Amino acid sequence: MSTTTWIDALATDALPTDDVIGIEVDGRDIALYTVGDAVYATDNLCTHGHARLCDGFLEGHEIECPLHQGKFDVRDGKPTCEPATEPLRHYPVKIEGSRVFVRLD
Amino acid sequence: MSETSTVFPSTPQWEGDGTHRIPFLTYTSDALYQRELERFFYKGHWCYVGLEAEVPNAGDFKRTVVGERSVIMVRDASGAINVVENVCAHRGMRFCRERHGNRKDFVCPYHQWSYTLKGDLQGVPFRRGVKQDGQVHGGMPADFKTSEHGLTKLQVATRGGVVFASFDPEVESFESYLGPAILGYFDRLFNGRTLKILGYNRQRIPGNWKLMQENIKDPYHPGLLHTWFVTYGLWRADNKSQLRMDSRFRHAAMISTRGTAGQAGQVTQVSSFKADMQLNDPSFLDIVPEPWWGGPTAVMTTIFPSVILQQQVNSVSTRHIQPSGHGSFDFVWTHFGFEDDDEEMTQRRLRQANLFGPAGFVSADDGEVIEFSQQAFESKPFHRTLAELGGHAVEDTEHMVTETLIRGMYRYWRDVMEA
């Protein structure tokens, strides 16, 4: 049996447009990205240096770390540019009504 | 030469075109030393940086120097060896402090500028500024291109597992730099077998760096200074010998084959200091001839300006000359063996490495005579040394009783320094 837990994370009004924000979900530092109508979530801390990706720059589906310019694909957390080599954890997102839900398990 | 009134001349006074009398000033002048760094170490020459076996895996690096400039030899993910200067492109910091290590990239601790193992600038913190209230502040200007701000990348030559580097993009090929005669002796030692690092030792010698080159271009001194060599039959006047140079006389090889007839005492030669001395452990001199020697039992090769390649019976090593000011250099020995050595041979090489270490007094002797020479040079730089054994000429010889290789090196020194 699936014990999936969707956590109410944010109001859709608070989502940025084609950009990234950092939020706390269940005590965890999460980055939320919007690309057109789609919303993605990953860990906020870069897997390379100690930097928050919500301070970085989103271009298309790529988030660039503000510190060393490593890049990740926000859809699956895979590194796309060195010095990033370790993938980011990424999380399922759904929108119901005016709320954004994230699943952390 | 009469002692002139000028004790501290500004330029070296050579006697005519010869190089058989070498002005003390060539060892004591900061201006000449800086010109040597520029013309020998930083331009037109290949300098030794290390052995491939020191960095066997991707990301392995070794910090060393070319002249006085700190460089890093590093193997990248493709297996290639790069040599980059240890100076951050941002604020000029010497960012790498470890002698050896393994890294995915290089990061300067000052502002965390990061570089790939090829030396390309990879990341600049806050290059695009910082986001605040929906606005971006600061950051590098729009025309800042990371591709223009990598580390200084040196030319790299690898041959037989040995790595040389040059700051000069126009430097000739390593093979033509050595010339055919010296290349032959280089390839004799580094004939393609994988090398195995056995260890290091380091000395700081308070003397001019050229004195170390001269020491290994001087076959006159070993039997006289290093009496240990004579006592145990490693140096004998009846050794079959050759001295060889490249066409510009900057590099040289001293080739000798141990005499086999009689005991040391039965051969006319310099007297052996304490000839009745015995080794407690004779395995110290348990010499086993190796097929690759092809005859000679010792070949000491000087590659100008930075390294000495040593084969003395089963002991093989590189000795890196790392100058530091006109009156000091670090002398870094890397002892190695070969992948196909069995344990017995590895132990033999390690034991015989002591022929030159403190147990043999050889490197200690040389360090001391260089120090005392430098002290005298500093006190009266108008004077000159004498290197007239074997005459005034520069020529290959079939014997050891000559200072021709020293005259050869100064022939080259004058050609480059006076140009």
pLDDT tens digits, A34-84:
999 999 999 999 999 889 999 999 999 999 999 989 999 999 999 999 889
Task: For residue B255, report the phi and psi dihedrals to the nearest 5 degrees.
Answer: -115, 130
Residue (of B328, B403, B409, B315) closest to B362 by Cα position:
B315
- The domains found in chain A, sorted by start residue, are 6-103 (2.102.10.10)
Neighbours of A9 (CB within 10 A): 22
pLDDT per residue over B116-157, tens digit each? 999 999 999 999 998 877 788 999 999 999 999 999 999 999
- The domains found in chain B, sorted by start residue, are 47-156 (2.102.10.10), 179-417 (3.90.380.10)
Residue (of B387, B408, B402) closest to B248 by Cα position:
B408
Whether residue B128 and residue A57 make contact (CB cut-off 8 A), yes or no, is yes
Q: Is B311 left (phi over 0), alpha (psi -120 to 50) or beta?
A: beta
Please identify every stretch of chain B with a pLDDT value under 70, giving residue numbers as ranges: 1-5, 237, 259-275, 358-360
Q: What is the pLDDT of residue B414?
A: 98
Whether residue B105 and residue A82 make contact (CB cut-off 8 A), yes or no, is yes
Percent of chain A residues topping a pLDDT of 70? 97
Q: What is the pLDDT of residue B275?
A: 65
The sign of the CA dihedral A48, A51, A57, A61 is positive
Q: Spell out the alpha helix ranges (H) of B246-381.
A: 343-353, 362-379
CA-CA distance, B237 to A6, in Å (whole number)? 90
SS3 B159: strand
The label of the residue with tokens 């760096």 reads: B209
Whether residue B126 and residue A70 make contact (CB cut-off 8 A), yes or no, is no
The H-or-E segment that residue B30 falls in is helix B30-36
B295 interfaces chain A, CB cutoff of 8 Å = no
Q: What is the pLDDT of residue B273?
A: 59
CA-CA distance, B389 to A38, in Å (whole number)? 86
ipTM strictly over 0.90?
no
Are the C-beta atoms of B61 and B46 separated by less than 8 Å? no
C-alpha atoms less than 13 angstroms from C-alpha of B261 in its C-beta half-sphere? 7
Q: What is the pLDDT of residue B372?
A: 98
Q: What is the pLDDT of residue B266?
A: 44
Whether residue A66 and residue B123 make contact (CB cut-off 8 A), yes or no, is no
* Residues of chain A neighbouring B105 (CB-CB closer than 8 A): 82-83
Q: What is the pLDDT of residue B6?
A: 87
* Residues of chain B neighbouring A72 (CB-CB closer than 8 A): none
Q: How far does chain B reach from its first CA to its final CA, in angstroms?
A: 25
Whether residue B127 and residue A69 make contact (CB cut-off 8 A), yes or no, is yes
